Amino acid sequence: MLKIAFVNPPHADWSLANNMTYLQIQSHYQRFGSYKEQVEWIPAPYRWNCYTSFTEVYAEICEADIFLMSSYVWNAEILDEFSEYIKMRDPEKVLVIGGPHIGTNDADLLQKRKRIYDFICQPTKPGEAFVEDLINSWFDNQGAIAREDISWELSSFKSKKFVLDQDYSVYEDHFDHLSEVLAYARKHNLEPFVVLETTRGCPYRCVYCEWGGGINTRIQKKNLEIVKRDILSLKKAGFRSAYLTDANFGVFKERDFEIYQFAWDNQFYLTDISTVKTPNLELRKELVDFCSEVVGEDHDTVYKEERGTDMWGRMEYVSIVPTVSIQSISDTAMKIAERVDLKSADKIALSEYLNQVCEKRGYPKPALELILAMPGSTLDDFYNEMDVIWNFKAWSSFRHDYMFLPDSTLNSETYKEKYGIETVKVYSDIVDEDGIDNFNSLYRNKETHYETIRSCFSFSEVEMREMWFMNSASNYLLKDIYPEFTNYYRPPEFARKCFREIRKLTEYSVIDEDIKDIFNPLTPARSIRRLGGTFRVEFIERFLKRNILLIKDGLLKDCLVGDYCENSFL
């Protein structure tokens, strides 16, 4: 018997691990593998809230001959450390890594991976085909796996198609396991995370993306009736929602709408919906209208507690209304990123429309997806995005720090040189923008390192520091102060003038020195989510509250001067 294990640490230890890839591989091999009767699949670890050492994780899976690791930005360092632990303890074990976070555009990371792992799956390629060939080669060669036999192995030329149009439900195959892990999540108040895949692949090639199904590829559709069986199986297992992994919800409009309606009718919620990347504003509105018509106005939503500590509250409207995927208001930045999307004017119109729908229906606002400081964007573009934020009033949404993921085009030296991009190494030691810390486990004080942008041809490092500060400050300023000044300034002008007053404050010069150190490539990497030793949004808001009278005083003087000049002219 060949024994196989799988390790995919979750994004946070208060969440269930996403082990669906492992279940998909098992279902595939049990149907198409040459040696399916001779393979034992060891259950994947999922008790990440309580593991305090690699010894505890390894104890559950140490009998395996082959260890499959699924690598993402949030678990890459844990996986490498764990794999080195295995190699040191049992050097005869076969270590395999896949997932979107490998290092093909990061020479140091890729070299490290080649040193640690015996086999590497090319980023975003189908794991089902890769593992099928890996297992078959193990048996065909009496344990001496031949690299050239494996489809999509990083050093192999072999490839194999994988067709998503299955005649079976992975969720039905693994119903007992899904029920077991959900019961554990309920007992320990963990996020009951599970994914649902109805399509795979994405025809677009955004330079910052490492989409799990592959970018610049044909979209494959799963059979509609199988999708419905997937949903019903998850519901029967006790799940009430699933993260929809499809990259372009709505691209197959009638089919996708039927899936959404079916899920809702069965009281099962599809969350974090990423809509089709299209320059067609009317189609984007149609998607919003459809979802809002299905959800209606009388749903008995129970909101999660503050900071997301109640993982079992009913899903919020914010999760089931499609996200507002904008990235940047700059048409130049979008072109440089090879992102197909709405023009800037249409993005503002969409934000206004979504705000109207949410106000009418009584929904909280869905996530507003903007990226901070994309190459090609300017300081003016940053402030012009205040119109979108004000229109939408998504006060809990902040621009995402730009991650230069190691297998994205964005991270290639050619791309960086072309656009004069300077990066700096930073890390995140807080899981998300809500500032939720991990339990006392392997995740305690975990640092997730990555490169972010420092400057480029369209903005300087000084302008980057201003944008980084105002990214956290502007929501508070627009929400709590701007209503007093709507007759004097548009949101972009208001935010600019606020920063003019802020930088006059003595206290700000100290803060700016701290930010300067974060973006200094010659000093040790800093947490990009902390400032003054605490979560950046909280720190900046406290600073603004302490100085609110001085900021307002400066704005009022500016208004009086403006009125005086206008009256004098008249």
pLDDT tens track for 438-460: 777 888 878 889 999 999 999 99
User: ∠ at Cα 247 (104, 168), nearest 5°?
Assistant: 100
Q: What is the pLDDT of residues 121-139, one digit of tens each?
A: 999 999 999 999 999 999 9
pLDDT number for residue 298: 59
pLDDT number for residue 239: 94
pLDDT number for residue 244: 93
Residue 472's pLDDT band (boundaries 50, 70, 90)?
very high
> Are 406 and 102 within 8 A, CB to CB?
yes
Residue 60's pLDDT band (boundaries 50, 70, 90)?
very high
pLDDT number for residue 568: 41
Q: Which domains does the chain have, with CATH numbers?
A: 2-149 (3.40.50.2300)
Residue 317 pLDDT greater than 60, yes or no: no
Task: Tell me the CA end-to-end span of the chain in Å, nearest whole number.
Answer: 91
pLDDT number for residue 312: 67
Position with higher pLDDT, 361 vs 381: 381
Q: For 41, phi and psi rounded to 5 degrees?
A: -100, 110
Query: What's the rounded Cα separation, in Å, for the pair 77 and 71?
Result: 9
Residue 420's pLDDT band (boundaries 50, 70, 90)?
very high
Place of tokens 């080669």: 137
Residue 278's pLDDT band (boundaries 50, 70, 90)?
confident
Q: For 45, phi and psi rounded to 5 degrees?
A: -60, 140
Residue 506 pLDDT greater than 90, yes or no: yes
Residues 6+ apart with CB under 8 A from 328: 334, 337, 370, 371, 374, 376, 377, 381, 385
Residue 289 pLDDT greater than 50, yes or no: yes
3-state secondary structure of 81: helix
Query: What's the rounded Cα separation, in Å, for the pair 231 and 397?
Result: 29
Q: What is the pLDDT of residues 94-110, one digit of tens each?
A: 999 999 999 999 999 99
Query: What's the rounded Cα separation, in Å, for the pair 32 and 19?
Result: 20
* 140, burial (CB in 10 Å: exposed 0-12, middle 13-18, buried 19+): middle
Average pLDDT over residues 152-171: 93
User: Residues of 41-54 as b/e, b for ≥16 C-beta within 10 angstroms?
Assistant: bbebbbbbbebeeb
Task: Work out whether strand 422-428 and strand 526-527 pair parallel, antiparallel, or are unpaired.
Answer: parallel
Residue 335 pLDDT greater than 90, yes or no: yes
pLDDT number for residue 562: 61
Query: What's the rounded Cα separation, in Å, for the pair 2 and 137?
Result: 12
Average pLDDT over residues 514-527: 97
Residues 6+ apart with CB under 8 A from 59: none
Residue 3 pLDDT greater than 60, yes or no: yes
Between the ranges 251-265, 325-339, 347-361, where is the mean pLDDT highest?
A: 251-265
Amino acid identity of 46?
Answer: Y
User: Residues of 211-234 as b/e, b for ≥16 C-beta within 10 angstroms?
Assistant: bbbbbebebbbbebebbbbbbbbb
Query: What's the rounded Cα separation, in Å, for the pair 76 and 102?
Result: 9
Residue 567's pLDDT band (boundaries 50, 70, 90)?
very low
Residue 327's pLDDT band (boundaries 50, 70, 90)?
confident
Residue 217's pLDDT band (boundaries 50, 70, 90)?
confident
Residue 570's pLDDT band (boundaries 50, 70, 90)?
very low
Helix residue ranges, H only, 213-343: 224-237, 253-265, 281-295, 317-320, 331-336
Residue 486's pLDDT band (boundaries 50, 70, 90)?
very high
Residue 262 pLDDT greater than 80, yes or no: yes
What is the number of other CB atoms lying within 10 angstroms of the CB of residue 306? 8
> Are 275 and 323 within 8 A, CB to CB?
yes
Rg (CA), the chain: 25
> Are 403 and 74 within 8 A, CB to CB?
no
Q: How far is CA 365 from CA 300, 318, 390, in A?
A: 17, 5, 12
User: CA torsion, points 378, 379, 384, 385, in degrees to nearest 10?
Assistant: 80
Residue 344 pLDDT greater than 50, yes or no: yes
Average pLDDT, the chain: 90
Residue 202 pLDDT greater than 60, yes or no: yes
Residue 569's pLDDT band (boundaries 50, 70, 90)?
very low
Q: Tell me the residue length of the chain.
A: 570
pLDDT number for residue 434: 57
> Are 267 and 232 within 8 A, CB to CB?
no
Write the DSSP symbol of residue 37: G
Average pLDDT over residues 58-77: 96
What is the number of helices (H) and of strands (E) in the chain? 21, 17
Residue 308's pLDDT band (boundaries 50, 70, 90)?
very low
